[in-house]
């Protein structure tokens, strides 16, 4: 993989991957314990859910505007401003006066949506035929941040405090500025004739991604409440580490065949696995067995990691090369919108019914719909790279 790139290209990829990875690490660290932190400021599950998902809506909104600004004023400047916004947002989250302050901090965290700007910076230094591989390397850094973050977050919360997680995340943000300054930004060659058209199939796949991220944030909303029934926060790692490792191994195992000619196949598999995980995860309230609960965690992470591996590749197969950036931006925005919607819906349903039945039904329905949508978009047939994309 690495032999495909020159030293200068690998340097840009590594620096941008480090910046995005550190920022992502700060976001993922707080997810496993955020609901417990929110309980310090309100008894409203709806407001806790709003705070949890708030960063998602601003990320969805600001992805495109910041990308446009980076075209005009440069990638490094906009990335730096976005990271500073992320740092300030985390500091506000560490010392909120009330739940409103926590929501404002989360909104500010998400407004520094610079992942697409970083990817654009990489793409400007990489030949079109190698950009998918460069994206894969960035994806690996995000995956590692995800795995490390969800494991160390609860441990750091116990050793220090919940507030300290946001201080640490802000420090990661400051450190992530260093690689940005080290990147050599070259003058862009703008193509004003290129038009970004969002294909119907892209919209379908993006809706599926919306549902996946909807479930992801619902999973984390309930995770601390479910987990403390079995183990204290200081022992969350006892099930998170094995689950993340198993899921990571599965993700690596399917990456190569999925990239070659099994993209649609593993997309279907990921949705089926996530669908199976829903009853296993949510029925633990009735089947009070710690191993049944752990099984639900493992199944979820496995399905989620597979989906993160195959769906971006599916986008590249469906989208025209000339509209790849716009389609990927739309796909990413839908993911973050799913984060916001999932957190708010979970909080709303929990506050009204005081149990998990309604959210359980919602999640099952969404993934049945996802499988149907995927069939409509692909007929469950493989989509190979086009020889002459237009």
Whole-number Å distance between alpha carbons of 120 and 184: 13
Q: Taking the alpha carbons of 381, 333, 1, 28 in that order, is the dihedral positive or negative? A: negative
Q: Tell me if 7-181 shares its fold with 199-390.
A: yes
State the CATH class of domain 7-181: mainly alpha
Measured CA to CA in angstroms, residue 264 lies from 314, 315, 364, 380 at distances of 7, 11, 21, 6
323 pLDDT tier (thresholds 50, 70, 90): low
**Spacing of C-alpha 188 from chain mean position:** 28
Domain 199-390: state its class.
mainly alpha
Cα three-residue angle 127-130-132, rounded to 5 degrees = 125
- Per the prediction, the chain carries an average pLDDT of 85
Closest by Cα among 182, 306, 173 to 246: 306
Contact 371, 271 (CB under 8 A): yes
Instruction: Give the model's pLDDT for residue 190.
Output: 44
Which of 98-102, 190-194, 295-299 is predicted least confidently? 190-194
pLDDT at residue number 385: 56
- Per-residue pLDDT, 193: 45
Longest dimension (CA), the chain: 60
**Domains of the chain: which residue ranges?**
7-181, 199-390
Residue 194 has pLDDT above 80, yes or no: no
pLDDT by residue (tens digit) across 117-126? 887 788 778 7
pLDDT-above-70 percentage for the chain: 88
Pair 303, 281: CB distance under 8 Å: no
Looking at residue 319, its pLDDT comes to 67
**pLDDT of amino acid 212:** 96
The pLDDT, as a whole number, for residue 2 is: 56
The per-residue pLDDT for range 222-255, each reduced to its tens digit, is 999 999 989 999 899 888 999 988 888 887 788 7
pLDDT number for residue 4: 72
């Amino acid at each position: 993989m690495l032999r495909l790139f020159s030293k200068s290209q690998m340097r840009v990829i590594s620096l941008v991957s480090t910046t995005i990875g550190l920022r992502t690490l700060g976001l993922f660290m707080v997810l496993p314990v955020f609901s417990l932190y929110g309980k310090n400021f309100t008894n409203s599950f709806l407001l806790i859910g709003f705070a949890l998902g708030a960063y998602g809506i601003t990320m969805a909104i600001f992805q495109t505007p910041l990308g446009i600004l980076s075209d005009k004023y440069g990638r490094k400047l906009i990335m730096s401003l976005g990271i500073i916004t992320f740092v300030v947002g985390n500091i506000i989250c560490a010392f909120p006066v009330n739940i409103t302050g926590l929501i404002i901090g989360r909104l500010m965290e998400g407004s520094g949506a610079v992942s697409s700007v970083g990817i654009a910076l990489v793409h400007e230094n990489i030949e079109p035929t190698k950009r998918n591989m460069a994206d894969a390397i960035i994806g690996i850094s995000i995956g590692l941040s995800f795995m490390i973050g969800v494991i160390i977050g609860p441990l750091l919360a116990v050793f220090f405090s919940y507030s300290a997680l946001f201080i640490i995340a802000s420090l990661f943000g400051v450190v992530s500025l260093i690689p940005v300054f080290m990147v050599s930004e070259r003058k862009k060659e703008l193509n004003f004739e290129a038009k970004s058209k969002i294909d119907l199939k892209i919209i379908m796949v993006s809706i599926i991604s919306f549902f996946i991220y909807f479930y992801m944030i619902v999973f984390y909303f309930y995770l601390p409440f479910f987990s403390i029934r079995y183990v204290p926060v200081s022992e969350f790692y006892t099930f998170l580490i094995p689950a993340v490792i198993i899921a990571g191994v599965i993700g690596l195992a399917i990456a190569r065949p999925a990239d070659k000619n099994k993209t649609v196949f593993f997309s279907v598999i990921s949705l089926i696995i996530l669908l199976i995980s829903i009853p296993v995860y949510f029925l633990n309230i009735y089947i009070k067995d710690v191993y049944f609960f752990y099984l639900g965690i493992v199944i979820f992470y496995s399905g989620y990691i597979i989906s993160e591996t195959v769906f971006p590749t599916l986008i590249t197969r469906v989208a025209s090369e000339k509209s790849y950036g716009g389609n990927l931006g739309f796909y990413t925005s839908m993911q973050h919108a799913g984060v916001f919607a999932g957190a708010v819906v979970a909080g709303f349903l929990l506050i009204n019914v005081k149990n998990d039945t309604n959210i359980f039904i919602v999640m099952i329905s969404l993934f049945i719909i996802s499988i149907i949508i995927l069939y409509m978009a692909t007929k469950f047939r493989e989509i190979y790279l086009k020889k002459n994309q237009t």
